[in-house]
């Protein structure tokens, strides 16, 4: 464990410290742990997946709409509406839950 000099107060500080114990200046950024990284990337991946799902679902539902009869069109529109509402609900709930995990696994500055 090497000692460095604090850029603020010039006291010698361990290079493993996140903060200077004398003046409290932040010396380096805390890194996310394994789970922190895992949840962060799950969160990003989840949002990308939901976006892809929403776009793919919307494209599939509207692609052949011109070839359908009036009743079928109405059915497809309702189906799309329910599907989109489901995707949005899952998206929002998932984002909140994963977002909370991302928050809880944030690096702690000791
Ligand atoms: Zn200091």
Centroid of ligand 1 to alpha carbon of 3 (angstroms): 13
Would the pLDDT of 110 be above 60?
no
Binning pLDDT at 50, 70 and 90, where does residue 61 land? low
* Separation CA 59–CA 61 (nearest Å): 6
Of 87 and 30, the one with more pLDDT: 87
Q: How far does residue 103's CA lie from ligand 1's centre (Å)?
A: 28
Taking the centre of ligand 1 as the mean of its atom positions, its distance from the CA of residue 18, in whole angstroms, is 11
Question: What is the distance in A from the centroid of ligand 1 to the CA of 53?
Answer: 50
User: Has residue 77 got a pLDDT over 80?
Assistant: no
d(CA 44, CA 50): 10
Q: How far is the CA of 55 from the centre of ligand 1 (A)?
A: 52
User: Is the pLDDT higher at 67 or at 19?
Assistant: 19
């Amino acid at each position: 464990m090497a000692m460095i000099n604090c850029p603020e107060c010039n006291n010698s500080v361990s290079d493993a410290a996140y903060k200077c114990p004398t003046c409290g200046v932040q010396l380096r950024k805390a890194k996310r742990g394994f789970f922190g990284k895992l949840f962060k990337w799950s969160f990003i991946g989840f949002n990308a997946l939901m976006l892809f799902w929403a776009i793919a679902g919307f494209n599939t539902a509207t692609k052949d709409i011109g070839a359908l009869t009036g009743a079928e069109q109405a059915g497809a529109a309702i189906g799309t509406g329910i599907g989109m509402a489901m995707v949005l609900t899952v998206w929002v709930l998932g984002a909140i839950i994963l977002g909370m995990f991302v928050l809880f696994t944030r690096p702690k500055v000791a």
